[in-house]
Each structure stands twice: as C-alpha cells, then as structure tokens.
C-alpha cells in the first residue's frame, strides 16, 4: 500500500465518501499531469474491466459519454455499453460542486466521475484516461487501483496559440494538437489564421483571400514554386466540432490593422496606396497594413461575419500588434481622417480602427481580445488584453479593470530556443503579475503558450518545439506547479504516451552548455551535458580534414591552431530521435586575446561573452542570439585593439557583421582601419563602405569585409565603424535606432 503523506485538502461530495475505502493515502506521485489538487490512493483493486463495462450518465453528458466510449475502444480495446441502471462507470454533473471542479472515486468495482459542469466531467475523464494510458504494461490495463481525486484549476483560460500562417499545418495536425491539448486539460486553441505571409481561412465574399493570399513564392525552392494551403469552411467546421467535443474553445485570430500583407496582396484596395504587392515570403513586420477606409471596414465586417458563423467562441482575437504606421503617415486620406476625427497621431488612429471593429463585434455578441499594443484610454472596456511584451501590459489592463491573458515572451514563447526558455522555466511560470491586488488577480483569466512558426516548417519541428514544454505549461496554468522534480518523475510516463501518439518531442533543456576558453595556449572548449541520459557525438573539421566522430566523455576539446575550424556537436537523450545539432566556428588568428577598448558600450543582451569577445577566436553563427555576437544600438563604434607585445607585422584584417534587416540589424555604413605602434599616432590603412543596395537585402547572413595590405608593424589597430544610425525611411521600423552586430576581428 502506498503510504505517502501530502498536504492537499480532500473535499468529499455525495456518493464519494472516503470512509468506505480501504486506507487511502495522499499520493503526490500520481502520474497525472497537470498534478491534481488532491489524489488519494491505495494498492487495492478499485475496478477491473474484465466482465464488460457499462456506463451511466445524465442526458447533458451525451457528448462526454460518446467521447469516453470512443476513447476506451480506440486506445484500450474496451467496449463501453450505455446502461440506464447498473454500471461500472458513472458520469454526473453535480449542482453543488464548483463549475470547474471534478472529483473521481474508484472503489468497490465502481468508477464515479463528478463535475460541476460537463467541461469539469470531461477533465475527470482525462484524469481517468491518463491513469489508464500511462500504465507501464498493457496487461495492467484490465484494472485500476482504488483512488479518490479532487481537482480544480487555478486559471480558467489555459491555451496555446498555433500560427498556421508562417507555415501551414494540415487539418490532421490541428486535430492531433486538439487531442493533445485535451489530454493536458488545456481548453483554448488560439488559432492564428491570417498573417502577412498567408491568409488561411476560406471567405466566400472575398475568394481571392485564399486564391492569392494563401500562397507565396517558396523561399526555399529554386524554381519559383508556390508554398501554401488553406482551410475550407468544411475543414473549419470539422475542426471546431472536434474541438468542442473535447471542451476546447477555438479562438480565431484575424489580425488587424498590421500583419495583413496577404489580404492586401489579394485586394490591393485594402492598402493605403492601392499598389499591388506580393505575399511576403520572408519574416518580420511589414508596412502594407489595412488603410482605415470605408472599403476596409466593410471588408473586415464581412470577413468577421463569416468568421462568426464558423466559430461559436464568445471571443474573436483581432491582433493589433506590430502595425508600422509608415503608410498611414504617407496617406493624405489618413491625414484628413485624423483631422476630421480629432485624432492627434497614427497611434490614436489605430485605436479608432480597433474600437470600430470592437464595436461591430460587440454588437454581434463577441468580446475582442487583442495584443497589449491595443491598450489605451479610448479602448472599449470589455476588450481583453493578451500581454506578450512582458507582464506589464497584463498588469496595466487588470489595474484598469479589464481582463487579461498572459503570454510574456520571457516564459510563454515556444518558438524560442531551449536556451532562452526551457521546460523548467515554463514550469515555474506564474501568470499573476507581481504586486496585484486580489481583485486584479481575479481578472487574470489565465495564460497561453505561443507557437509562432516562422522557423517551424514541418510537424517534426513543431512537435519538438511544443513538447515537452507544453506539458510543463499545462501544470503551470492549472496552478499546481509546485515541485519540478515531481513533475519530471511523472513526465517519464508521458513520453511513452507521446511515443504512442507519434509525437517527436524535443529535449527538456538545452542539451549541451558550452564554455570556451582562449588564452596564449589556444582555444579550448568544455562541453557540459544537461540531459538526464545524454549522448553526445562530436567531430572537428579544419582546413580540408575532417576528424572522425567522437563520443563525448567529459574531455576538454582543443581547437586546432590553424586558420579556421568547425566543431560539430550532436547531443540528446540516448533514447530520443530528436537530437540537438550545434556548429561552432573558430578562427585561430595572430591577435587572439588582444584587448579591446570601446568608445561605446555594447548591449547587455548581445555581449559576445564580454570585453574579450571580439578577439577570442570563437565566431558568431547564423543565429544572432547564439551569444557570440556583440550588438550596438544606434551608435557609431570606435574600437582600439591592443597587442603591445607583438613584434610581428600584420598584413590582413577582416571582421564579421551580421545582417538581418527584418530585426533592424543593418550592415555598417562604413569601416575604416588604422594602425599604430604607440597607440597615439595612427595611420589609416584602408576603408570599406556598404553599397546602398546592401541595406535592402532581407534574410539572415554574415558580411565579412576584409582588408589586405603590405606587411606593417602594428601594436594597435583602430576600427571606426559607422552605424547607419536610424532605420531608413523605406523600412517598416523607419527612424528607430539601427543595430550593428559585430563579431571577431581577425588580424593576421
């Protein structure tokens, strides 16, 4: 018999008295996720399924009974017979229970699942489902031990956003995710179905939205092939019904006024200048947003009319984030509208836009949800704020008496790497912002994890990003996330279920931590394995030689002492299919470890490891968040690199700049290099200027200006880097400070 003591409070309701049980004990180690508020169990058999299974339940639970019937048949080959009288399983809604609570008792050959509502009963079914499905051996499935469980979620809104626009995920994958959300008692699928890069929902009144807007030139194909897809109304009805059967509310997000290039490309009249644009096949924020004209409002009302017919949810998400105002500022129409409406600037025009749409939706019985950018004094009182730029938007919303949903980038972004947000970090998330009053706390409806899919081209990547982090989120959103080690011990059983469902989950945390050390003796790399049962393979390539693969056994890795080399690392749980691949590049140049004097500080977020980061021989990769890039925001940069003890002449200098104008990282306007032997008198050696067209190129790449010259004695190298200063007028972030990202200064 289990004899584990716990502190949870057991609440008994009629028909579920624990006095008839053999001895039951608090068992915090139930395998259920999210952890129930109370779980008592013994090792006696509670029910066995050997003699046929009958079920009774009230008429209001018709759909839940059907669901359970199907589940037991499909997953456990148990047939469930519906019976009016005697039965093994009873489902019931009890009027005296809190609406969102459920309770299960399993004893004396009876399993009773009670809830305060059909949704609560459904959650009870999922607890039962988990207990059955997570058993070690198939042979154990014919019975369940005695237990009593009571459970109430802390938050009523437990969701996940799925972006099906940046990449398209067919209906079957959406249905699979609905099942998985239900398994973890999540109850909202926030379906992001319109974006710059795609419009994915069929709209009868505007067929070009999907004829044109659902397709873009495939940036990864060489032959101009189109990438895309969309959901027909029939698909959507099927998905919505499937979700409703699982008590998952689908909240559609129709983005406005920004992130709307796909719609503008289908109907250029929606934009301010009427120009034909193509559906972007690149990531970022785009400036062709809806123009606040009568045409646009009629369009959006018609679209939303069709959306409301498809989605029974009380809520429509209207986006509202990241809307550049360039087109509105250029537009005579917008300037006149602002005058007529007494609006001071384009931000007020955005509020005017959002409020107009909110009014329309409210008239039709819907409540709007918007990203925290929509929060302002004029915003309709009923609007719900989804806080993503930290917790502040949510805190401000609830302090003003509004409701909020929390999705801060710090904890809830599943597209972020494990380096930024690992399973333990999500597990520790508390949706309540600091210093909330009890009243404010009550207005935090719950939280969502956001799965943006710019870099998620397929189901395998999607699974590896979402799992196991979503499982940790489910416990955080349920509010029983008090013990990460207990969570981990329960998680093991869940991997078996994910395997069975074909989910290619990723790692719990970053597989490998890397520490590089550069000194007079060269560069060494120390890897640390972070997983529970890790396996790491690495190999080195240098010049034209590739070392054979090595199994990592804790050894220090020495980087070859010649020009360039690369270290390939692949690490993961021994048993897992998904491995994490890393590539580190090195350049062992002559001025390794030279010190750098900076005219301006580098960003606290992009440090390249600190003051030695530009001469440590470790090169920044194509991921600008890899920790090896130094970022400078808006400033010109003057560096003096000092190598006082060398008597060797130098004859070449090169350096790497990162370019990703989508994220405001621009090439430098110019670079000038000069040398000195005393640090006072400098002689200019060479200069480089970026061509204007270099500033316009989108996508991520590395530019490496290099200078060769006749050998010259030098102990000091001065590098004057001119930042373009402000993001150019043609860019969607026009007039914001521009970044320069710099890494190794390679001197030979």
Q: Which residues in this chain contact ligand ACM in the complex, by CB under 6 A?
A: 321-322, 371, 388
Nearest distance from C-beta of residue 586 to ligand ACM, angstroms: 35
Which residue, 306 or 321, is less far from ligand ACM as judged by CB? 321
In the block, which residue shows the tokens 């099942």? 179
Q: Which of 481, 563, 465 is nearest to 523 (CA)?
A: 563
Which residue, 416 or 602, is less far from ligand ACM as judged by CB? 416
In the block, which residue shows the tokens 């955005």? 350
- What does the alpha-carbon distance between residue 73 and residue 86 come to, in Å, rounded to a whole number? 20
Task: Give 315's DSSP letter.
Answer: E
Beta strands in 230-275 (DSSP E): 249-256
Nearest distance from C-beta of residue 319 to ligand ACM, angstroms: 8
- What does the alpha-carbon distance between residue 381 and residue 384 come to, in Å, rounded to a whole number? 8
Nearest distance from C-beta of residue 321 to ligand ACM, angstroms: 4
332, two tokens: 């005579």
Which residue, 99 or 409, is less far from ligand ACM as judged by CB? 409
Which residue, 185 or 402, is less far from ligand ACM as judged by CB? 402
CA torsion 361→450→323→401, rounded to 10°? 50
Largest CA distance in the chain: 99
Which residue, 283 or 632, is less far from ligand ACM as judged by CB? 283
Instruction: Tell me if residue 649 falls in helix, strand or coil.
Output: coil
71, two tokens: 């589940």
Instruction: Tell me if residue 583 falls in helix, strand or coil.
Output: strand
Nearest distance from C-beta of residue 381 to ligand ACM, angstroms: 22
Which residue, 142 or 376, is less far from ligand ACM as judged by CB? 376
- Contact status, residue 268 vs residue 331, Cβ threshold 8 Å: no
Angle at 282 between CA 188 and CA 606, to 5 degrees: 85
Tell me the HSE value of 497 on the side-chain side, using a 13 A CA sphere: 24
Nearest distance from C-beta of residue 269 to ligand ACM, angstroms: 26
CB atoms within 10 A of CB 686: 14
Nearest distance from C-beta of residue 663 to ligand ACM, angstroms: 13
Which residue, 258 or 479, is less far from ligand ACM as judged by CB? 258
Which residue, 320 or 479, is less far from ligand ACM as judged by CB? 320
Which residue, 176 or 396, is less far from ligand ACM as judged by CB? 396
Which residue, 198 or 672, is less far from ligand ACM as judged by CB? 198
Nearest distance from C-beta of residue 256 to ligand ACM, angstroms: 13
Nearest distance from C-beta of residue 647 to ligand ACM, angstroms: 54
Which residue, 239 or 374, is less far from ligand ACM as judged by CB? 374
- What does the alpha-carbon distance between residue 372 and residue 366 come to, in Å, rounded to a whole number? 19
Which residue, 118 or 252, is less far from ligand ACM as judged by CB? 252
CA distances from 493 to 31, 487, 489, 514 (A): 7, 11, 8, 30
Nearest distance from C-beta of residue 118 to ligand ACM, angstroms: 32
* Residues 6+ away with beta carbon under 8 Å from 445: 155, 156, 157, 384, 403, 404, 405
Nearest distance from C-beta of residue 259 to ligand ACM, angstroms: 8
Nearest distance from C-beta of residue 452 to ligand ACM, angstroms: 6
- What does the alpha-carbon distance between residue 204 and residue 212 come to, in Å, rounded to a whole number? 14
Q: Which of 638, 703, 695, 641 is nearest to 672 (CA)?
A: 638
Q: How far is CA 584 from the centre of its chain?
A: 25
Q: Which of 437, 443, 428, 436 is nearest to 477 (CA)?
A: 428
Nearest distance from C-beta of residue 394 to ligand ACM, angstroms: 13
Nearest distance from C-beta of residue 448 to ligand ACM, angstroms: 10
Which residue, 39 or 388, is less far from ligand ACM as judged by CB? 388
SS3 per-residue string spanning 417-480: CCCCCCHHHHHCCCCCCCCCCHHHHHCEEEEEEEECCCCCCCHHHHHHHHCCHHHHHHHHHHCC
* Residues 6+ away with beta carbon under 8 Å from 219: 227, 281, 282, 699
In the block, which residue shows the tokens 């400033």? 635
Nearest distance from C-beta of residue 255 to ligand ACM, angstroms: 10
Instruction: Tell me if residue 534 falls in helix, strand or coil.
Output: strand
- What does the alpha-carbon distance between residue 568 and residue 552 come to, in Å, rounded to a whole number? 12
Which residue, 286 or 371, is less far from ligand ACM as judged by CB? 371
- Contact status, residue 228 vs residue 169, Cβ threshold 8 Å: no
Which residue, 230 or 371, is less far from ligand ACM as judged by CB? 371
Nearest distance from C-beta of residue 383 to ligand ACM, angstroms: 15
């Amino acid at each position: 018999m289990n004899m584990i003591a716990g502190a949870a409070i057991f609440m008994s309701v009629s028909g579920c008295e624990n006095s008839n049980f053999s001895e039951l004990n608090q068992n915090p180690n139930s395998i259920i996720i999210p952890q129930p508020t109370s779980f008592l169990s013994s090792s006696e058999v509670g029910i066995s399924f050997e003699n046929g299974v009958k079920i009774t339940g009230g008429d209001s639970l018709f759909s839940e009974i059907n669901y359970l019937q199907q589940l037991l048949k499909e997953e456990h080959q148990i047939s469930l017979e519906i019976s009016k009288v005697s039965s093994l399983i009873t489902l019931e809604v009890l009027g005296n229970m809190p609406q969102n609570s459920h309770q299960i008792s399993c004893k004396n050959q009876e399993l009773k699942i009670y809830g305060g509502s059909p949704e609560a009963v459904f959650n009870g079914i999922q607890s039962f489902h988990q207990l059955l499905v997570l058993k070690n051996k198939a042979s154990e499935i014919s019975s369940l031990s005695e237990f009593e469980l009571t459970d109430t979620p802390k938050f009523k809104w437990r969701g996940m956003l799925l972006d099906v626009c940046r990449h398209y995920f067919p209906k079957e994958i959406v249905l699979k995710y609905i099942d998985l959300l239900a398994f973890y008692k999540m109850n909202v699928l926030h379906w992001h179905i319109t974006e710059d890069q795609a419009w994915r929902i069929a709209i009868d009144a505007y067929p070009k939205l999907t004829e044109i807007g659902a397709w873009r030139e495939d940036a990864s194909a060489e032959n101009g092939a189109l990438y895309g897809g969309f959901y027909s109304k029939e698909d959507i009805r099927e998905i919505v019904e499937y979700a409703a059967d699982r008590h998952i509310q689908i909240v559609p997000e129709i983005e406005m006024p920004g992130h709307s290039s796909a719609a503008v490309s289908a109907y250029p009249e929606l934009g301010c200048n009427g120009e034909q644009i193509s559906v972007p096949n690149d990531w970022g924020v785009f400036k062709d947003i809806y123009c606040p004209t009568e045409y646009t409002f009629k369009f959006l009302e018609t679209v939303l009319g069709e959306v409301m017919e498809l989605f029974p949810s009380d809520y429509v998400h209207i986006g509202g984030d990241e809307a550049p105002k360039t087109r509105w500022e250029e537009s005579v129409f917008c300037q006149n509208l602002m005058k007529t409406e007494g609006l001071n600037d384009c931000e007020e025009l955005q509020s005017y836009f959002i409020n107009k749409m909110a009014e329309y939706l409210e008239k039709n019985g819907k409540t709007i949800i918007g990203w925290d950018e929509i929060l302002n004094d004029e915003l309709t009182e009923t609007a719900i704020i989804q806080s993503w730029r930290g917790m502040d938007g949510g805190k401000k919303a609830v302090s003003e008496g509004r409701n909020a949903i929390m999705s801060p980038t710090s904890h809830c972004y599943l597209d972020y790497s494990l380096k930024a947000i690992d399973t333990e970090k999500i597990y520790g998330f508390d949706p309540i912002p600091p210093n909330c009053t009890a009243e404010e706390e009550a207005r935090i409806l719950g939280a969502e994890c956001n799965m943006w899919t710019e870099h998620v081209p397929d189901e395998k990547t999607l699974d590896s990003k979402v799992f196991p982090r979503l499982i940790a989120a489910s416990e955080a959103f349920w509010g029983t996330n008090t013990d990460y080690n207990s969570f981990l011990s329960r998680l093991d059983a869940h991997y078996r279920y994910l395997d069975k469902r074909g989910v290619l989950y990723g790692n719990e945390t970053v597989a490998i931590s890397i520490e590089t050390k550069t000194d007079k003796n060269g560069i060494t790399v120390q890897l640390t394995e972070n997983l529970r049962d890790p396996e790491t393979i690495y190999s080195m390539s240098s010049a034209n030689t590739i070392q054979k693969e090595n199994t990592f056994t804790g050894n220090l890795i020495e980087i070859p002492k010649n020009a360039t080399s690369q270290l390939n690392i692949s690490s993961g749980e021994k048993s897992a299919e998904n491995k994490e691949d890393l590539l580190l590049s090195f350049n062992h140049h002559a001025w390794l470890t030279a010190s750098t004097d900076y005219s301006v500080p580098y960003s606290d977020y992009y440090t390249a490891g600190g003051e030695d980061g530009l001469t440590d021989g470790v090169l920044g990769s194509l991921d600008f968040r890899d920790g090896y890039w130094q970022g400078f925001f808006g400033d010109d940069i003057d560096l003096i690199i000092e190598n006082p003890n060398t008597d060797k002449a130098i004859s070449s200098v090169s350096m790497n700049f990162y370019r990703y104008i989508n994220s405001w990282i621009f090439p430098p306007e110019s670079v000038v290099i000069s040398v000195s032997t005393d640090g006072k008198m400098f002689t200019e050696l060479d200069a480089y200027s970026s061509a204007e067209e270099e500033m316009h190129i989108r996508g991520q790449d590395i530019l490496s200006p290099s200078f060769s010259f006749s050998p010259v004695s030098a102990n000091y190298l001065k590098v004057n880097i001119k930042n373009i200063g402000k993001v150019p007028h043609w860019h969607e972030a026009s007039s914001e400070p521009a970044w320069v990202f710099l890494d190794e200064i390679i001197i030979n």
